[in-house]
């Protein structure tokens, strides 16, 4: 029997994030007798998806760049990796701050197909902004194909270069609104009689959790039975917890960490609040709508996320009071908690078609 081709995906981590969710959704759906995925990450610790990847026949390889920050060692490690792993003809890179070095090493190793993939449309303006911006601009130098999760993300990173948009598709069947699951999961969380405000995202500056807490505080004053559930982990967790404590909201804000049952967690929510400063796409906005959860989001999300009657976009400058009022209004939407699957399919965000497209795409590239 012919061995499947192996595609190497390069990321910072295989954490519970949007990019990783997209790749895992594709991986679960492709014909793995024809195409297998492996992953190269730059953190040594155990990754969120390690066990599932191994069960499906993939491998997770780990370099330690993020721990030691030694760029010379990192480049040597990359060269050594490709020297000892000559099974790849396709490298698909998603870690664009170090992507230049990864694709350069792949090129030096003679790998003919080197894909650069944009998943965001801005970077946080902190002390690392200029170095990151420079490396992002270098990302495409050794690439042979360019992908982006949205038109905005592609134009941001690739400027006037030609690229393909690969929508961050989901398994829409899995997310269909289900009253029994909603009741069961709310009971498990001890929130069956509550008005649940939800948010899913890494606890990172990009996601704007400070404003989210301000919005929830306003909602709580208007609706005393309101509870906030936060799914995700990240470097700002302690800072966010302090803000919650300062506002005396500890009893009604729930940090759920990373979850592998998000299709159930969405069902519990009455409204999804998503005030990110920027998003390449924001796959959780698609997942929430697929689950029938009304969503209000910021101007940081691209137009592609507006796909159902339960979606509303606001400006961050509109302020927490307007966001709170709109959240309570949207929660009463007559289409809330109904089957949204056809909207997902019609907008091109269903995973079945995306996985088949990528499977065929990789097989065709392998012939180069």
pLDDT in tens, the chain (368 residues): 789 999 999 998 898 888 998 999 999 999 999 999 999 998 888 888 999 999 999 999 999 766 566 888 999 999 999 999 999 999 999 988 889 999 999 999 999 999 999 988 765 555 455 666 676 778 889 999 999 999 998 998 898 899 999 988 999 999 999 999 999 999 999 999 999 999 999 999 999 999 999 999 999 999 999 999 999 999 999 999 999 999 999 999 999 999 989 999 999 999 999 999 999 889 999 999 999 999 999 999 999 999 999 999 999 999 999 999 999 999 999 999 999 999 999 999 999 999 999 999 999 988 76
The domain segmentation of the chain, as residue ranges, is 5-169+350-365, 172-346
> Which CATH number, 3.30.70.260, 3.30.365.10, 3.40.50.2000, 3.30.360.10, labels domain 5-169+350-365?
3.40.50.2000
Domains 5-169+350-365 and 172-346 fall in the same CATH topology: yes
Q: Are 338 and 292 in contact (CB under 8 A)?
A: yes
Per DSSP, helices labelled H in 30-116 are 50-55, 65-68, 71-84, 99-108
Nearest C-alpha neighbor of 179 from the set 165, 162, 192, 167: 192
- H/E element holding 363? helix 351-365
User: What is this structure's pTM?
Assistant: 0.81
- H/E element holding 246? helix 237-246
Q: Are 266 and 135 in contact (CB under 8 A)?
A: no
> Which CATH number, 3.40.50.450, 3.50.50.60, 3.30.70.120, 3.40.50.2000, labels domain 172-346?
3.40.50.2000
Q: How far is CA 331 from the centre of its chain?
A: 24
DSSP state for residue 88 in the 8-state scheme: E
Strands 164-165 and 311-313: unpaired
């Amino acid at each position: 029997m012919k061995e499947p081709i192996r595609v190497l995906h390069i990321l910072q981590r295989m954490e519970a994030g949007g990019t990783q969710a997209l790749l895992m959704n594709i991986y679960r759906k492709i014909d793995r007798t024809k195409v297998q995925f492996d992953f190269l990450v730059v953190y040594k610790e155990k990754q969120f998806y390690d066990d599932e990847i191994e069960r499906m026949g993939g491998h997770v390889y780990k370099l330690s760049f993020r721990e030691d920050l030694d760029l010379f060692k990192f480049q040597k490690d990359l060269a050594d990796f490709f020297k000892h792993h000559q099974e790849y003809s396709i490298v698909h890179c998603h870690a664009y701050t170090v992507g230049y070095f990864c694709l350069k090493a792949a090129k030096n190793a003679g790998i003919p197909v080197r894909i650069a993939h944009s998943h965001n449309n801005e970077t946080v303006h902190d002390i690392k902004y200029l170095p990151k911006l420079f490396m992002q601009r270098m990302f495409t130098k050794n690439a042979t194909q360019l992908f982006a999760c949205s038109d905005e993300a592609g134009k941001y990173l690739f400027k006037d270069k030609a690229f393909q948009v690969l929508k961050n598709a989901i398994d829409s069947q899995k997310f269909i609104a289900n009253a029994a699951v909603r009741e069961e999961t709310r009971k498990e969380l001890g929130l069956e009689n509550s008005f649940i405000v939800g948010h899913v995202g890494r606890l990172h500056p990009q996601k704007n959790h400070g404003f989210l807490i301000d919005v929830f505080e306003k909602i709580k004053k208007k609706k005393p039975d309101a509870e906030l559930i936060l799914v995700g982990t990240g470097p700002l967790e302690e800072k966010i917890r302090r803000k919650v404590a300062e506002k005396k909201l500890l009893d009604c804000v729930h940090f759920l960490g990373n979850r592998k049952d998000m299709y159930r967690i969405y069902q519990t929510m009455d409204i999804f609040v998503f005030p990110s400063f920027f998003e390449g796409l924001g796959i959780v906005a698609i997942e929430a709508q697929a689950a029938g959860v009304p969503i209000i989001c910021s101007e940081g999300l691209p137009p592609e996320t507006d796909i159902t009657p339960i979606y509303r976009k606001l400006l961050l400058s509109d302020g927490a009071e307007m966001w709170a009022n709109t959240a309570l209004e949207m929660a009463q939407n007559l289409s809330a908690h109904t089957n949204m699957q056809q909207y997902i399919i019609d907008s091109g965000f269903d995973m079945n078609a995306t996985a088949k497209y990528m499977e065929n795409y990789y097989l065709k590239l392998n012939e180069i």
